[in-house]
Amino acid sequence: MKTRVRFLFILLAGVLCVCAAFAGGEKEAGIPRIVIATAEGPMTWTVENYKQEFERANNCQIELITFPFGEYYQKMMTSFTLGSGAYDMVLFPVGYVGDFAGGGYLLSLDEYINNDADIQWNDIMPVYRERIASWGGETVCVPIDGDLHTTVVRIELMENAEHRRKFKEKYGYEIQLPDTWEQYYDLCEFAHNWDWDGDGKTEYGAGEAQNKGGQSYWIFLSRALSYTCIAGQPGTVFDPDTMKPLINNPGFVQALEDWKKLLNVSIPGTTNMDVTETREIYISGDVLGTIDWGDVPQLSASAPESRIKGQFATIINPGVTKVWNWKTNKWQDFPQVNKAPFLAFGGWAFGLTSTCKAPELAYKFISYVSTPERSLEAVLNPRSARQPYRKSHFANLEKWKEFGFSDPAEEYIDAVDETLAHPNVRADLRIPGTGRYYDALDVGIARALAGEISAKQALDEVAARWDEITNELGRESQLKYYRDSIGVQ
């Protein structure tokens, strides 16, 4: 018995030694090894596509470890808090930066970037370079994906002279790409429940994901922020001085009431649809308008099954002319349309862990895959699921035509460029507990859309739950994290 136990002990020790030899940054036969951790899905394409050529050029090994998306955050936090040092690099959703960088688990990259001409850091759009990539005044990650929301609208309805005449007769103004959410509603109402494109099928107005668990809270916020966010006034869903939730102020309540009203001119079943389903109905030509990430215009332009190629336009999200100013607690009339475009989700980024054993080599890999040329190649590859985030990505319209766009500027590029350059663009929530806050919002929105309770009651319940979460996590620390995340010192 003792012999067997001793054998098992020796065997276990051997296994641990082998595992240690393969740990991040350790060398196997003199070759440095970098271990990257990310979630399963299309983002792995970036590592897999460039891994072998980088290994050959730098005489190293890159190991990619993936976890199901729903488990990735917890796996990383467990590794970080235990100090396992298992991973040298993380490719992560930027919404996790509050936990990752705020916990001290990511290295500052400023010195590497300042001495790296190849990465062309200033080519990255300022909102990603200065806000998404930073935490506490330091650059802690390198963005490789530019997630944001835009509004996509079918244009053939507007090009028909008879449709234009009837629209003006009904609404009193010329049919146009919507500048306000009211105009968007008018357009969807006009297009609702009849065959306006002559394909023999009934078309509908809107087709937005309004399903609990289907990322509907991001769609809601893309509409709602314009009702309550004013340029130059920091803070989106929390007061940056007190961490008091703003989510139940009259601006957000009005936005939710208006979004529920949109159900009247939407394809049936949107409260049971996630973004995957709304993308399918959009490219099938079933609806006029939707809000989504770049997937909708890219699929509309290039998917073999798309029935609307060359028949759509992408625009910056519309806005409102009456805004709730949460500083003065009053409605404020705007002479111009107030828009607050939203970097929903925010994209993905590379970061070096604080336990990275070969940081110079690991950063070199980040720089290698992030150059303007390679990043454009990735953005133009549907398998990568990456969206444009560099200035140079918007300059080469011929490449976008090769991708499938008939008119890249109108169909996609101009709206993304305008969104990123907008003075009132808003980043997504990036603090510890973000998932918990959004889960509570998801529940509240669903109850309001279902008619169980009013929009005001729903958002009051959300605000109360947010206060509970903040108190559980520590109001003082949450306030500091929130201020850091929005650049308020």
Other CB atoms within 10 A of residue 45 CB:
16
**Residue 10 pLDDT:** 35
Q: For 150-343+433-486, CATH number?
A: 3.40.190.10
Tell me the two tokens of residue 208.
């937005």
Q: Fold identical between 22-145+348-386 and 150-343+433-486?
A: yes
Rounded to the nearest 10°, the torsion over CA 382, 385, 389, 393 is: -10
For domain 22-145+348-386, the CATH architecture is 3-Layer(aba) Sandwich (3.40)
pLDDT of the chain along its 489 residues, tens only? 333 333 333 333 333 333 433 444 445 567 999 999 999 999 999 999 999 999 999 999 999 999 998 899 999 999 999 999 999 999 999 999 989 998 999 999 999 999 999 999 999 999 999 989 999 889 999 999 999 999 999 999 999 999 999 999 999 999 999 999 999 999 999 999 999 999 999 999 999 999 998 899 999 999 999 999 999 999 999 999 999 999 999 999 999 999 999 999 999 999 999 999 999 999 999 999 999 999 999 999 999 999 999 999 999 999 999 999 999 999 999 999 999 999 999 999 999 999 999 999 999 999 999 999 999 999 998 889 899 999 999 998 999 999 999 999 999 999 999 999 999 999 999 999 998 999 999 999 999 999 999 999 999 999 999 999 999 999 999 999 999 888 887
**Residue 29 pLDDT:** 62
CA distance 301 to 449: 32
CA distance 319 to 219: 14
**Residue 2 pLDDT:** 33
**Residue 12 pLDDT:** 37
In 329-359, which positions are buried (b, 16+ CB within 10 angstroms) versus exposed (e)? Answer: eeeeeeeeebbbbbbbbbbbbbbbbbbbbbb
User: Going along 316-403, which residue ranges are E strands?
Assistant: 320-325, 330-338, 342-343, 348-352
Other CB atoms within 10 A of residue 381 CB:
15
Tell me the two tokens of residue 369.
């895959």
pTM given for the model: 0.89
> Where are the domains positioned within the chain?
22-145+348-386, 150-343+433-486
DSSP 129-177: IIIITEETTEE--EE------EEEEE-HHHH-HHHHHHHHHHHSS---S
CA distance 35 to 25: 7
Nearest residue to 151 (alpha-carbon basis) of 222, 209, 211 = 222
**Residue 4 pLDDT:** 35
**Residue 28 pLDDT:** 55
- The Cα-based distances of 484 to 58, 397, 466 in angstroms read 36, 36, 19
